[in-house]
Amino acid sequence: MTVYPVAGSKWVDVQKGEVSRDVFVDDGIYHTELEKIFNKTWGFLAHETEIPAPGDYVVRKLGIAEVVVARDRQGKLQAFLNSCRHRGAQVCRADSGNARNFVCPYHGWTYDQTGALLTTTFDKHLPKDVDMSALGLPKVPRLEVYKGLIFGAWDADIVPVASYIGDFAWYLDPFLSRSPGGMEVLAPPHRWRAKCNWKVGALNFVGDAQHILTTHVGPLTLDPVRAARSGFATAAENSFQVVDERGHGCTLTYLAPGLPEEAYQTHPKDLDQIYRETLQPGQMEMLNRLRVIVGTIFPNLSFIETQVGPAEKAVIMRQWQPVSGTEMEIRSWILAEREATPEYKSNVLRKGFHNFGAAGVFEQDDVELWASATLASDNTIARQFPYSFHTALPYLNNPDEAHQGPCKVFRPADTEVAQLEFMRRWGQLMEPIA
């Protein structure tokens, strides 16, 4: 493995509540984390409903490499490297589609839906003893599905994905499988790039409640009456953060008391009844009067369920794909229950992307400031001064012992505990070198 030079030997100081700015701008650190984190953990590839039929495929990144995720003729999921075994060209050049076979546009090597080589086009020139079965597209060693989410891993010995998600599933499942039919992706994901490090997005979703009233003052000001009636600006005291030792985490913000009664009907009544038949009582209680939940599955898959209209909620999956030390690619999916009405799905899709799509009103606020922070931090002067996570320190060793759910829970919800715990896990995997 190539070892790239990095600045400093201790990037995350949990005791001081500080994280080096190098972590968010340094290309050497970026290359190291590709090897030590992204090539050794589970990575989200797609949702099953994106490739429902035989021959359907999407092209995605798994760690450092591009892969094709396909459904073969038997309906089985496949994932393989998107690089021809002949001269390395991208075999599949579209983001998604349906294909009987995959034909390399360079010299015509042709692979089936499992990645197996069918012909080189010039088979007659091959040595008689060549093993065609050894020249297929390299397969992703581990491919598993969790509640509709397709994960892959380059590490063949990694723990099962259900074990990787672990106890955090108790908080995640109500947004992935709260109905018998499960969730479905409503449209292809929005895809765009941002001039900032991938961890900025992951940290924002794992638990940055402190930015809402300043960063998003614009959208809240556009309709202050609705913001007040919907409880945007006031969180109940029982809001909290959840952290898991694997780096997963989320922030749950509940509606405050005293709002108009319609504010507390957060889901359609017909779907609400389905939830009650599917979820555990504690999970159903969690959903009741929940204004918004944001979370991150380590390292770079985030989710949010947020109000987009009266009794309408959008579930959004978000992936932060590293491009360099100072750039990432973002993909954003909108999901809804399969049992929901077409009208409900249409509203959720439109309003979900309106808020959190590539040009979403909240998205524009975040990305502009993320890019600004990156630009201001990427110089030798600024790098001398670490980022502050100090508001985590008074609470870090004082979890709420009375909470009945799994994982560690911390109150209040507007500290930086979840963010610092995310960075603690990142530091453990990176093993900084001088």
| Token representation of residue 116 | 């197996």
In this prediction, residue 211 carries a pLDDT of 86
pLDDT value at residue 148: 98
Q: Is the pLDDT of residue 336 over 90?
A: yes
When pLDDT is cut at 50, 70 and 90, the band that residue 227 belongs to is low
Confidence class for position 120, pLDDT limits 50, 70, 90: very high
Whole-number pLDDT of residue 383: 96
324 pLDDT exceeds 50?
A: yes
- CB count within 10 Å of CB 277 equals 10
Per-residue confidence band for 214, with pLDDT thresholds at 50, 70 and 90: confident
* pLDDT of amino acid 238: 74
pLDDT reported for residue 220: 58
Mean pLDDT value of segment 391-409: 93
- The CATH architecture to which 43-157 belongs is 3-layer Sandwich (2.102)
Question: Using a CB cutoff of 8 Å and minimum separation of 24, what contacts does 382-385 make?
Answer: 382/21, 383/7, 383/20, 383/21, 383/22, 383/25, 385/21
**Per-residue pLDDT tens digits for 282-303:** 999 899 889 899 999 999 999 9
pLDDT band at 100; cut points 50, 70, 90: very high
**Whose structure tokens read 């390299």?**
138
Residues noted as catalytic: 107, 208, 211, 216, 366
Q: In the prediction, which pLDDT does 259 show?
A: 80
Query: Of 83, 84, 78, 65, which is closest to residue 139 (Cα–Cα)?
Result: 78
Q: Residue 363's pLDDT is what?
A: 83
Can you give the three-state secondary structure of the chain, one letter per residue?
A: CCCCCCCCCCCEECCCCEECHHHHCCHHHHHHHHHHHHCCCCEEEEEHHHCCCCCEEEEEEECCEEEEEEECCCCCEEEEECCCCCCCCCCCCCCEEECCCEECCCCCCEECCCCCEEECCCHHHCCCCCCHHHHCCCECCEEEEECCEEEEECCCCCCCHHHHHHHHHHHHHHHCCCCCCCEEECCCCEEEEECCCHHHHHHHHHHCHHHHHHHCHHHHHHCHHHHHHCCCCCECCCCEEEECCCCCEEEEEEECCCCCHHHHCCCCHHHHHHHHHHCCHHHHHHHCCEEEEEEEECCCEEEEEEEEECCEEEEEEEEEEEEECCEEEEEEEEEEECCCCHHHHHHHHHHHHHHHCCCCHHHHHHHHHHHHHHHHHCCCCHHHCCEECHHHCCCCCCCCCCCCCCCEEECCCCCCHHHHHHHHHHHHHHCCCC
State the first-to-last Cα distance of the chain, in angstroms, to the nearest integer. Answer: 17
> How much is the pLDDT for 8?
38
Q: Parallel, antiparallel, or unpaired for β 56-62 and 65-71?
A: antiparallel
Amino acid of residue 136: G
**Percent of the chain topping pLDDT 90:** 80
For residue 302, give the nearest of 211, 130, 175 by alpha carbon.
175
Say what the pLDDT of residue 192 is. 96
Average confidence score pLDDT of the chain:
92
The answer to whether residue 226 scores a pLDDT higher than 80 is no
| Superfamily for the 166-430 domain | Naphthalene 1,2-dioxygenase Alpha Subunit; Chain A, domain 1 (3.90.380.10)
Phi and psi at 290, nearest 5°, equal: -80, 115
Instruction: Check whether 224 has a pLDDT greater than 70.
Output: no
Rounded Cα distance, 432 and 434, in Å: 7
Query: Which of the listed ranges 16-25, 231-240, 263-272 does the model predict with the highest average pLDDT?
Result: 16-25
pLDDT in tens, 142-162: 999 999 999 999 999 999 999
Rounded CA-CA distance 422/296 in Å is 9
- Domain residue ranges in the chain: 43-157, 166-430
Is it the case that residue 57 has pLDDT exceeding 60? yes
User: For position 399, what pLDDT does the model report?
Assistant: 95
Distance CA 418, CA 133 (A): 47
Q: Please confirm whether the linkage preceding 160 is cis (ω < 30° from 0).
A: no
**431: confidence class by pLDDT, cuts 50, 70, 90:** confident
Q: What confidence score (pLDDT) does residue 74 get? A: 97
Q: Distance between CA 418 and CA 79 in Å, rounded?
A: 33
Average pLDDT for 168-197: 97
Q: Write down the pLDDT at residue 7.
A: 40
pLDDT of residue 235: 58
For residue 221, name the pLDDT band (cuts at 50, 70, 90): low
pLDDT tens-digit series, residues 160-179: 999 999 999 999 999 999 99
What number is the average pLDDT over the span 354-372? 88
pLDDT of residue 236 exceeding 60: no
Instruction: Report residue 281's pLDDT band, with 50, 70 and 90 as the boundaries.
Output: very high
Asked whether the predicted pLDDT for residue 93 surpasses 90, the reply is yes
pLDDT for position 216: 75
Give the per-residue pLDDT at 6: 41
